[in-house]
Each structure stands twice: as C-alpha cells, then as structure tokens.
C-alpha cells in the first residue's frame, strides 16, 4: 500500500488503542488516508512522525489543548511557553513535597521522643498534631502561600492515583452492537448513528447512556446503549436488546483513551480495593465497562468533553455477602 501503515500496526507498535488514534484524528492532531481496496484507516510517514511527537508530549503530561496550540503555531514560541510553564509547575510541586516531607519528619521526631506511659507526653503529642494540621493549611515557603488543597494536588500529580466513586447500577435493558472490530470505523459508525437517533427521542436527556467493554479473547469491542421502557427491537434498527444485570462498580475518570491512562486508573482502583475491608474485584469480564463524555450532547459539549473517559470496574462484597 505504497508505504502506508495499517491502524492495527500503528496501534501495536506504539501501544495505543485504535480509539486513541481516532480521537487524535478527531482533534485535528493527525490525519489518515483511505485506500479504495482497504476499508480501514491508513497512516503515512508524516502522520506517524506526528504521532511520535504527540506521545512524547503526552508523556510530559502536556494537555491535548496545548498540543493543539503547539501544532497550530509556526515557530518555537508556543512550545517554549508550554514547556516553561511545565517546569514552573514541577518546581511548585517539588517545593510543596519538600515542605510536606519536613512536616512529616518533624512529626516522626515528636513521636520518637514521646513517652507513651506519660499522660503529659500524650497530651503534648496531641497538641503537636493539631499544630501540624494548622501548618498544613497555612504553610509558607519562599514567599508562596500553600494550603492543604495544593499539597494534595501535588501529591495526586506525583502518584497519579484516581479518585474512586462507588456506583450501583440498576438492572435494565440495553441495545448491544455485538462484537465490533477494533479497527472498523464503519461498524462503529452504524451503531453510533442508531443510538444517536434513539437519544434524540428520549425526553430526559440524561447522558451518557452509552457504554463499552473490550473482550480480550475476541480482540473485539462491544458498545451498549441504555434503553427506556417503551423502546423495542423495531426501534433499534436490527441491533439486539439484552438484559443487563446491573451491579456495583468502582468508577474513576481518565483524561484520554491511551492505554497508559487505562492502566493507571485500573491499577488505582485495584490499589484502592486492597484497602477496603468489605469489597473486592468482581472478575466478570462482561461487566468491565467504560463510557466517554461525548454522548449525544450538544456540539459544544462534545467539543469540551470528548476524550474524557470514565471507567467502571465491577466489584462485589467479599465472600458474596
């Protein structure tokens, strides 16, 4: 195909999902081409080089918005501005973490010197803990005022641990796409068009109603769309309706479709579960889902939210209780 690379080969080589590639293309960061004798997206050398640049910038935690600015501006001014701001952010985080380290070390020294047999030492330790709490809220370093929110934000950026939300989903009916090729735009587009037409007929406009999961054994994706009671198979344009059992999920938000983001969120949920006394991972693969925030919203909402993903990982009570 005259040096053109298949979307599957690009996905494998750079360890990113086909969905991520489509997302980058929708954001105007890369372009693909089509061949008359091949149904899927193809990428030339220029697109692959641009993808490598995107991946490097994403590794530096540069936002998609800033990457767009860099690519849409000639010269080096914008990239220098973005990277300089990143250096300032890192310096701020380092300063915050050094201050947090000193506060914790000071508390350790107080504990080491305390005699837990003496009531006066226990009282002193309590008072010291309250003093440290006050310092966490009002700490200064090099003329910059920090508060506990900035400390937590710095720690979150370093650890990259997601915030976890428990969600209990009720049993419901869903229309399913069945297995879809990871590569095929046409298959996804047909299901997307169908649920868009359904969503336009729903009065409450609660979004999103669309969910997806990946079947590793089949190397296929399955989309599902939550139906209202009045909808029948005559409304779903030939797509099958299934009964979804519902259940308990741990949900967390990711800032993109990259596999690295998925790994971070999934590992974060697992780490959180290890600290829970009554909850554990549910291994049911057909209930490991995600949804994205670009459902049937207004055009502006799609622009603002596209690419942000919430993962739903099935969990259950330990021992089946």
Question: Tens of pLDDT along 18-42?
Answer: 878 888 888 889 998 876 666 678 8
Q: Partners of 221 in the beta sheet?
A: 180, 214
- What is residue 292's three-state secondary structure? strand
Could you identify the residue written with the tokens 């641009």? 50
- Provide the 3-class DSSP secondary structure of residue 133: helix
- CB environment 228-254: b (16+ within 10 A), e (fewer): eeebeeebbeebeebebeebbbbbbeb
Contacts of 278 (CB under 8 A, 6+ apart): 317, 318, 321
What's residue 152's pLDDT?
45
Q: What is the pLDDT of residue 142?
A: 41
- Pure H helices in 15-118: 18-26, 45-59, 64-71, 77-113
Tokens (6 digits) for 136:
């966490």
For 94-142, the pLDDT digits (tens) are: 787 787 777 777 777 777 776 666 667 667 666 666 666 565 555 444 4
| Predicted TM-score (pTM) above 0.75 | no
In order of their start, the domains of the chain are 5-71 (1.10.1660.10), 77-158 (no CATH), 165-320 (3.20.80.10)
Q: Which segments within the chain are labelled E, that is strand?
A: 5-6, 33-35, 38-43, 140-141, 144-145, 165-169, 172-176, 180-181, 210-215, 220-226, 240-244, 247-254, 279-281, 289-292, 309-317
Pairing of strands 38-43, 5-6: antiparallel
17's torsion region: left (phi>0), alpha (psi -120 to 50) or beta?
beta
Q: Which residues in the chain land under pLDDT 70?
A: 1-2, 35-39, 114-119, 121-122, 124-160, 207, 216, 284-288, 291-307, 320-321
Question: Using CA atoms, how far apart are residues 67 and 57, in angstroms rounded to an integer?
Answer: 7
């Amino acid at each position: 195909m005259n040096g053109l690379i298949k979307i599957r080969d690009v996905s494998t080589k750079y360890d990113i999902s086909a969905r991520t590639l489509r997302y980058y293309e929708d954001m105007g960061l890369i372009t693909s081409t089509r061949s008359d004798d091949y149904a899927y997206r193809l990428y030339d050398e220029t697109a692959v080089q641009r993808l490598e640049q995107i991946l490097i910038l994403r590794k530096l935690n540069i936002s998609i918005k800033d990457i767009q600015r860099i690519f849409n501006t000639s010269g080096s001014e914008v990239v220098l501005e973005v990277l300089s701001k990143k250096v300032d952010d890192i310096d701020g985080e380092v300063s915050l973490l050094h201050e947090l380290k000193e506060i914790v070390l000071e508390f350790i020294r107080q504990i080491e010197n305390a005699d837990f047999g003496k009531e006066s030492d226990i009282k002193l330790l309590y008072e010291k803990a309250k003093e440290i709490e006050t310092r966490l809220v009002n700490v200064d370093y090099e003329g910059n005022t920090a508060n506990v929110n900035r400390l937590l934000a710095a720690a979150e950026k370093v650890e990259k641990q997601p915030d976890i939300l428990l969600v209990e989903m009720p049993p419901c009916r869903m229309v399913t796409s069945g297995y879809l090729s990871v590569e095929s735009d046409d298959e996804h587009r047909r299901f997307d068009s169908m649920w868009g037409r359904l969503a336009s007929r729903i009065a409450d406009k609660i979004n999103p109603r669309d969910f997806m999961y990946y079947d590793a054994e089949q190397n296929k994706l399955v989309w599902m769309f939550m139906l209202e009671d009045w909808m029948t198979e005559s409304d779903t344009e030939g797509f099958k309706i299934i009964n979804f059992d519902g259940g308990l999920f741990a949900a967390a938000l990711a800032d993109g479709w990259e596999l690295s983001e998925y790994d971070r969120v999934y590992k974060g949920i697992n780490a959180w579960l290890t600290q829970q006394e009554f909850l554990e991972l549910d291994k049911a693969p057909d209930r490991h889902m995600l949804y994205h925030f670009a459902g049937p919203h207004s055009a502006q909402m799609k622009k603002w939210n596209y690419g942000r993903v919430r993962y739903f990982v099935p969990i259950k009570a330990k021992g089946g209780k």
